[in-house]
Amino acid sequence: AAGVIQSPRHLIKEKRETATLKCYPIPRHDTVYWYQQGPGQDPQFLISFYEKMQSDKGSIPDRFSAQQFSDYHSELNMSSLELGDSALYFCASRQGASTGELFFGEGSRLTVL
Amino acid sequence: SQKIEQNSEALNIQEGKTATLTCNYTNYSPAYLQWYRQDPGRGPVFLLLIRENEKEKRKERLKVTFDTTLKQSLFHITASQPADSATYLCALHPGYSSASKIIFGSGTRLSIRP
């Protein structure tokens, strides 16, 4: 069965650079969530989208922006990267009308040097 | 502010025993609560969901209870096996919209020793 696909899986950037993470949800899933997980930390909610509209926002820095496109894939853009942005970034998807489980991708590991 | 606490950072259990994990929350009224399993470096995997009007849910060796008065959920793994070793996360959903934020607890790292 198709799963949530995230790219790239690993990314190394310098401070003050820009990074873009991509998320391709499971087919027919119209809801996407983004989470940031630091080492030994719980996943921190960043932002969610439903039907290409931002639905809810969490602790997402102003340096970050995200959107969901017409094909439901989503991109997380991070600018002016800081050392503290180093983390695993997870994308999760589900069908918006349901209240069920989130399907997570394998994550994108961002390292800022 | 909203807060979710899971009983301990780590729990060590002898194989075959029942593991019980706790999730407590404050300043929150979730419509439903989920439990996920996470292995190192991997994305969380959904295990069970329980709604605010449900007291208990079961799935194979897993059982979840939800007490909205105590603001607590208990997650049980019976007949535990070394393969059950992982971090277990509880997650709360407010239910006011389908894509509203889902907040995760800090997780409990469970180790099952043979």
pLDDT at residue number A9: 97
pLDDT at residue number A99: 65
Helix (H, G, I), strand (E, B) or coil at A27: coil
Q: Which two tokens stand for residue B21?
A: 């994990």
The residue-averaged pLDDT of A1-25 equals 95
Tell me what the pLDDT averaged over chain B comes to: 90
Q: Which of A22-26, B26-30, B101-105 has the lowest mean pLDDT?
A: B26-30
Q: Which two tokens stand for residue B18?
A: 């029942």
Whether A25 and chain B come into contact, CB under 8 Å, resolves to no
10 Å CB burial of residue A52 (0-12, 13-18, 19+) is middle
CA dihedral (B89, B90, B94, B98) positive or negative: positive
Q: Which residues from A are below 8 Å from B34, CB to CB?
A: 101-102
Name the percent of chain A in helix, strand, coil, to the closest 5. 5, 50, 45
Whether A35 and chain B come into contact, CB under 8 Å, resolves to yes
Q: Closest Cα to residue B61, out of B73, B48, B83, B78?
A: B78
Provide the chain A residues 36-75 that lie in CB contact (below 8 A) with chain B.
41-45, 48-50, 55-58
Q: Closest Cα to residue B75, out of B41, B42, B110, B101?
A: B110
The residue-averaged pLDDT of B38-67 equals 94
pLDDT at residue number A98: 62
Whether A88 and chain B come into contact, CB under 8 Å, resolves to yes
Read off the pLDDT of residues A28-85 as tens digits, 9 standing for 90 and up.
899 999 999 998 889 999 999 999 999 889 989 999 999 999 999 999 999 999 999 9
Q: With CB atoms and an 8 Å threshold, state whether B102 touches A99.
A: no
pLDDT at residue number B9: 77
The residue-averaged pLDDT of B62-72 equals 93
Q: Which residues from B are below 8 Å from A4, CB to CB?
A: 43
pLDDT at B32 over 90: no
Q: With CB atoms and an 8 Å threshold, state whether B101 touches A56.
A: yes
